Amino acid sequence: MDSVFSSVARAPEDPILGVTAAYNNDPSPVKVNLGVGAYRTEEGKPLVLDVVRRAEQQLVNDPSRVKEYIPIVGIADFNKLSAKLILGADSPAIQENRVATIQCLSGTGSLRVGAEFLKKHYNQSVIYIPKPTWGNHPKVFNLAGLSVEYYRYYDPATRGLDFQGLLDDLRAAPSGAIVLLHACAHNPTGVDPTPEQWEQIRQLIRSRSLLPFFDSAYQGFASGSLDTDAQSVRTFVADGGECLIAQSYAKNMGLYGERVGALSIVCKSADVASKVESQVKLVVRPMYSSPPIHGASIVATILKSSDMYNDWTVELKGMADRIISMRHQLFETIKAKGTPGDWSHIIKQIGMFTFTGLNQEQVAFMTKDYHIYMTSDGRISMAGLSSKTVPHLADAIHAAVTRLG
């Protein structure tokens, strides 16, 4: 009997994850992986935070812990603490019980569940996303049944924010449209609005009754400060309006594979928040019934202990600082080589990624001749660099720019 799926064609490799696959297949001893955004130490190794190990041990050593299904919305403590983390412990929205928080599978899961909820219950099904954005964003929203439009964001000429373009495009969006905002450390560009620009964006969004949906994947990772990196979200919530927030603990707690995140829906009233939560459960149940227990238990253990929380902030700042120092080292090295062009965006951009401005041809050249692995849009993960590999990358960039510039 023939399979009913005989004619299924092979899907293209995911562009980001495909980079790591290619890297793994390369036998060169000088290869560098600047593809996927996972933190690496100065020795180029993945890192499990010390505080995470301690939380893990605590959990394993506790004989009273069981593996029962957790509620559809996840672990209650985890949800409360996650909301506090992004909104601030003194947030009136939390005190007034206006926030529905649901544990989800990292940032991706939070975005997808939020999008499915919007498709079912919101009167607009178009979402505006920045150009460029994380490659998976349009897929998440499309599969949830939302249509995707773009707003201008990155200005290749300045390698910074196209602020006027952003404002014009959002002003032209239909009233009530959903707007995806990167809370900090924009992926892939590393270009963030200033606080003053955020204020203008907020006013425009509120005046057009647009619905903000924040993707917060790097809180604490961008500047090193959890509060600073949450400012954009907090100023929106402070104006009393509604919004959705997708939080991820993949990077800032190094919990990548455990898939830990949270979707928060900030509502006008406690009553509305409670109804909203009940409807989100109906989205989750036919998707995976309830979220995985392990990662969220680790997060809750850390966030509820003031010692562990403090230790976490120190380790987090350590990671952010190392990335910032890699930015400076790369910038200084390129400057010293006299590579043509303005490379100051390397230190102006923030977070895990730098949008180098290199084109596809240059990237392909760097991969072939220098074994540098990065996405074809010119994005490099600074977390994958070390003091040892900065010179090699600088050489590669210099060669690419001078030969193919």
Partner 1 sequence: MAMSIRNSASRRAMNQISNDFIGLRSMSSWWKSVEPAAKDPILGVTEAFLADHSPDKVNVGVGAYRDDNGKPVVLECVREAERRIAGNAFMEYLPMGGSVKMVEETLKLAYGDDSEFIKDKRVAAVQALSGTGACRLFADFQKRFCPGSQIYIPVPTWSNHHNIWRDAQVPQKTYHYYHPETKGLDFSALMDDVKNAPEGSFFLLHACAHNPTGVDPTEEQWREISQLFKKKRHFAFFDMAYQGFASGDPARDAKSIRIFLEDGHHIGISQSYAKNMGLYGQRVGCLSVLCDNEKQAVAVKSQLQQLGRPMYSNPPLHGAQIVSTILGDQELKSLWLKEVKIMADRIISMRTTLRESLENLGSPLSWEHVTKQIGMFCYSGLTPEQVDRLTREYHIYMTRNGRISMAGVTTGNVGYLANAIHEVTKSA
The reply to whether 84 belongs to the active site is no
Contact 384, 35 (CB under 8 A): yes
Give strand ranges (E) for 1-89. Answer: 32-33
Q: How far is the CB of 24 from partner 1 (least distance, A)?
A: 11
Q: Distance between CA atoms of 69 and 353, rounded to whole angstroms?
A: 37
Least distance from partner 1 to the Cβ atom of residue 404, Å? 27
CB of 176 to partner 1, least distance (A): 8
Identify whether the C-beta of residue 21 lies closer than 8 Å to the C-beta of residue 239. Answer: no
The number of CA neighbours under 13 Å toward the Cβ of 292 is: 12
Catalytic member of 169, 215, 229, 395: 215
Closest distance of CB 2 from partner 1, Å? 7
Tokens matching residue 106: 């990292």
Q: Catalytic residue, from 162, 169, 251, 395: name it.
A: 251
Beta strands in 146-296 (DSSP E): 147-152, 154-155, 160-161, 178-182, 211-216, 243-248, 261-266
Comparing CB distances to partner 1, the nearer of 267 and 326 is: 267
User: Which residue lies nearer to partner 1 by CB, 163 or 309?
Assistant: 163
Question: In the structure encoding, which two tokens stand for residue 62, read together?
Answer: 């506790």
Query: Closest CB to partner 1 among 70 and 404?
Result: 70
User: Considering beta carbons, is residue 13 or 361 the nearer one to partner 1?
Assistant: 13
Nearer to partner 1, 308 or 400 (CB): 308
Burial 49-63 (b: 16+ CB within 10 A, else e): bebbebbeebeeeee
Q: How far is the CB of 26 from partner 1 (least distance, A)?
A: 17
Whether 307 is catalytic is: no
CA-only gyration radius of the chain, Å: 22
Q: Name every residue whose Cβ is closer than 8 Å to that of residue 333 and which is 6 or more positions away in sequence.
A: 390, 391, 394
Residue matched to tokens 């793994």: 24
Would residue 134 show up in a list of annotated catalytic residues for this protein?
yes
Q: Which residues are catalytic?
A: 134, 215, 251
